[in-house]
Structure 1
Amino acid sequence: MATMTAAEHREQAKARYDAFLAACPSRQLLDRISNKWVTLVLAALGNGSPQQLGADCAGEPRAMRYSELARLLAGVSQKMLTQTLRSLERDGLVTRTVTPTVPVTVSYELTGLGLSLYETMRGVKSWAETHMDDVFANREGYDNRAAA
């Protein structure tokens, strides 16, 4: 039996990834990245919000402190933001930088991998914002037909 290198093992496993299979690890990754807080954290680190950051700051990926993210993401709890950032760091999508100041400064920034996912998520976020009125109209039509 021929011995395979670690890289060959990874390539072989990669060829078998199929999110339609229950045991596929890519399904778990899809579950993680489809979370609303993941989407919003990626969007915030990718370009922020013009309303909250000012038009001059929006549009370019940048590092943000925890408190900036918490203010920007209305409704996120401290626990949920912490869990989300830790999972993104674990997956290699975000880097966490600790600066030894008083008090300690912690900032988060997208990695190259995170930036590649951000590009996709930005499109999803934009689609949702652009088509929300259409979705509301369709929901109303559906509810009216169902009630009749």
Structure 2
Amino acid sequence: MRKESSTNTLNREKIQGDCGMAYTLDLIGGRWKPAILWRLLEGKMRYSELKKSIPAVSERILVLQLRELEKDGLISRLVYAEVPPRVEYELTSNGQSLQPMLQVISDWGDIHRPKTKPN
């Protein structure tokens, strides 16, 4: 957590206020957010399905990233009053609007990713 009055926080707010790209990258940036968004493009997913589809992410980080994406209005969390409790995540309309950009980023990465050498 950073102080609201810290130089880092003030600089971040200034950059985000002046640059749409910086704002976007702040919302979707990081190691796991793009993977979460990409998987949710296919539709609603339960927490356990998301976890299985991204096995390298820890539970703690997945929960934190999901909370941030929800706070930023890119995903919604649906809780069903059942026993055991069931929770599903889905993209909001703002989250859905990221699809073309995520596809372009994915395509660029596929083209420019270093090729692995066969064993």
Q: TM-score range by the shorter chain?
A: 0.7 to 0.9
Give the partner amino acid of 2:15. Answer: C
Deviation at 1:133, TM superposition (A): 3.5
Q: Does the residue aligned with 1:86 lie in a helix, a strand or coil?
A: helix
- Identity between Structure 1 and Structure 2 (%): 35
Q: Which of 95, 113, 124 is equivalent to 2:105?
A: 124
**What TM-score does the superposition give when structure 1 sets the normalisation length?**
0.61
Structure 2: 5+ residue stretches without partners: 1-10
Q: Which of 28, 40, 43 is equivalent to 1:33?
A: 28
Q: Does the residue aligned with 1:108 lie in a helix, a strand or coil?
A: strand
CA–CA separation in structure 2 for the residues paired with 1:33 and 1:63 = 19
Q: CA RMSD in A?
A: 2.2
Aligned residues: 102
Greater relative CO, 1 or 2 (CA 8 Å, sep 6+):
2
Structure of higher CA gyration radius: 1
Which residue of 2 is the match for residue 86 of structure 1? 67
1:70 counterpart = 2:48: no
- Structure 1 pair 126–99 and aligned structure 2 pair: CA distance change class (3 A): same
- Structure 1 pair 118–80 and aligned structure 2 pair: CA distance change class (3 A): farther
**What TM-score does the superposition give when structure 2 sets the normalisation length?**
0.74
- Structure 1 pair 108–72 and aligned structure 2 pair: CA distance change class (3 A): same
Q: Which of 35, 39, 45 is equivalent to 2:40?
A: 45
- Structure 1 pair 118–102 and aligned structure 2 pair: CA distance change class (3 A): same
Give the partner amino acid of 1:36. Answer: R
1:98 counterpart = 2:93: no
By percentage of residues, which structure has more helix?
1
Deviation at 1:72, TM superposition (A): 0.3
